[in-house]
Structure 1
Amino acid sequence: MVKIAVIVGSTRPGRKALDVARWVMDRAQGRSGAGYELVDIQDFRLPLLDEPVPPSMGQYSKPHTLAWAAKIAQFDGFVFVTPEYNHATSGALKNAIDFLYKEWNNKAVGFVGYGSAGGARAIENLRLVMGELMVADVRAQVMLSLFTDFENMATFKPAAHHDKSVAAMLDQVEAWSGALAGLRNASD
């Protein structure tokens, strides 16, 4: 069975990402195609990238990087829950991604974005980054609007039709995570 991380992509006080990630986890519970785990980047207290050697060399030296690498290496796929800040993903999520290289390779990813335009530009920003890291991004995505899926732009209350979007995205992440297993095993 593939193992997929639902990654909380914001560390900002008052963030909505944790509520959205928990909602995704609720929809993932009971699925037979994968095991899911909530991973909050805030728990790793990553500073701005402080490794002296590029991540592609795999020579991590800092305890926080080693802990983050060990966690990400456990998974076959990911779901990034990302806010949209200034037409991109959050700096905290981008920084967390940039700490590692091989731990991301040959895995699959799906996206759940939120913002004034449904997080669409944050998702597009992440798609570019994932290509460089050899992560296969799936087509299905979930876009949540601050205007219609958050009461007073604060309390997360997603419209019911998003359940189908989540299911489609998770179906694709599970399938691609499994399909890429041969590539992951060949590179180990």
Structure 2
Amino acid sequence: MKISIISGSQRPKSQSLKVASYLAERLKARGAVAGDPIDLGLAPLPFWDESAFSSEPSPLNDAWKPISAELSSCDGFVVVVPEWHGMAPPALKNMLLLCTSELAHKPGLIVGISASAGGTYPMVELRLTGFKNNRICWIPDHLVIRGVKGVLNGTPAKDEEAETAIENRCDFSLAMLVEYARALRTVRESEAFDLKTYPFGM
């Protein structure tokens, strides 16, 4: 079982990466292989253009190839998405545009984060538009981590009860993601799985 974690912020050393790293450690404790998060702040991808349709070398294809291979090898995904002006960051939406079969019929857990009391709008955005052609299956559960600078820091929290509640909810949602990943393997191994004839959603 291999779950990949994507830190959707294009800022280096972001709070998204902090949360992604925490969740990676929780997945390792659960026995689901989780390497270092894919950090869109560390290595931003070039914006999508028509060279993505070509097999010829290009800056876009050269940058995308190793990430595509990593995503293709995974059974499920955690996507940590900060709220910027009520939206998902462009780096994350760009990555979803580049995906073709890498995420197809694999489960995704959305983790919304906010420095204040927000965090929900990007989740709505991803559920509405972030799945059509890449075919990721967002699971019903999601996480919202508000006041993110004050939690999951590896130090005693100001509000220990709230910290424990967040940690427990993270473990619950990750456990559900792993079970969805096991179940959706059956879908991908079935005769109905045909991305060659129908590569795009309606």
Partner of 2:187: 183
Task: Measure the CA separation in 2 of the matches of 1:60 and 1:166.
Answer: 41
Task: Measure the CA separation in 1 of the matches of 2:39 and 2:112.
Answer: 16
1:77 is displaced (CA, Å) by 0.4
Distance 1:30 1:60, change over 3 A: farther
Tell me how many residue pairs correspond in the alignment: 179
1:170 is displaced (CA, Å) by 0.7
1:141 to 2:139 alignment: no
Whichever residue aligns with residue 168 of structure 2, its letter is K
Task: Measure the CA separation in 1 of the matches of 2:188 and 2:20.
Answer: 26
**Stretches of structure 2 lacking an aligned partner (at least 5 in a row):** 195-202
Task: Measure the CA separation in 1 of the matches of 2:56 and 2:118.
Answer: 35
Partner of 2:84: 85
1:137 is displaced (CA, Å) by 1.2
Partner of 1:95: 94
Tell me, yes or no, if the aligned pair for 1:83 and 1:114 is still in contact at 8 Å.
yes
Task: Measure the CA separation in 2 of the matches of 1:43 and 1:13.
Answer: 6
Larger Rg: 2
Tell me, yes or no, if the aligned pair for 1:120 and 1:143 is still in contact at 8 Å.
yes
Tell me, yes or no, if the aligned pair for 1:111 and 1:141 is still in contact at 8 Å.
yes
SS at match of 2:88: coil
Distance 1:112 1:73, change over 3 A: same
Moved more, 88-97 or 123-132: 123-132
Q: CA deviation digits over 1:46-100, x for unaligned, max 9?
A: 111134355xxx8575211222211110111000011001112111111111111
SS at match of 1:5: strand
Task: Measure the CA separation in 2 of the matches of 1:180 and 1:134.
Answer: 12
1:182 is displaced (CA, Å) by 2.2
Task: Measure the CA separation in 2 of the matches of 1:22 and 1:53.
Answer: 29
Task: Show the 5 A alignment for 1:56-135.
Answer: 61=57, 62-115=61-114, 116-132=116-132, 133-135=134-136
Whichever residue aligns with residue 172 of structure 1, its letter is M
1:35 to 2:33 alignment: yes
Tell me, yes or no, if the aligned pair for 1:53 and 1:60 is still in contact at 8 Å.
no
SS at match of 1:103: coil
Partner of 2:197: none
Q: Which has the higher strand share?
A: 1
Tell me, yes or no, if the aligned pair for 1:79 and 1:112 is still in contact at 8 Å.
yes
Distance 1:184 1:130, change over 3 A: farther
1:167 is displaced (CA, Å) by 1.2
Tell me, yes or no, if the aligned pair for 1:3 and 1:76 is still in contact at 8 Å.
yes
Task: Measure the CA separation in 1 of the matches of 2:17 and 2:83.
Answer: 14
SS at match of 2:187: helix
Moved more, 42-51 or 155-164: 155-164
- TM-score, with normalisation over the residues of structure 1? 0.83
Q: CA deviation digits over 1:102-146, x for unaligned, max 9?
A: 111110000211113341111111112344132221122221112
- TM-score, with normalisation over the residues of structure 2? 0.77
Q: Percent of counterpart pairs with the same letter?
A: 26
1:171 to 2:172 alignment: no
1:11 to 2:15 alignment: no
Q: 2:166 aligns with which of 154, 162, 165?
A: 162
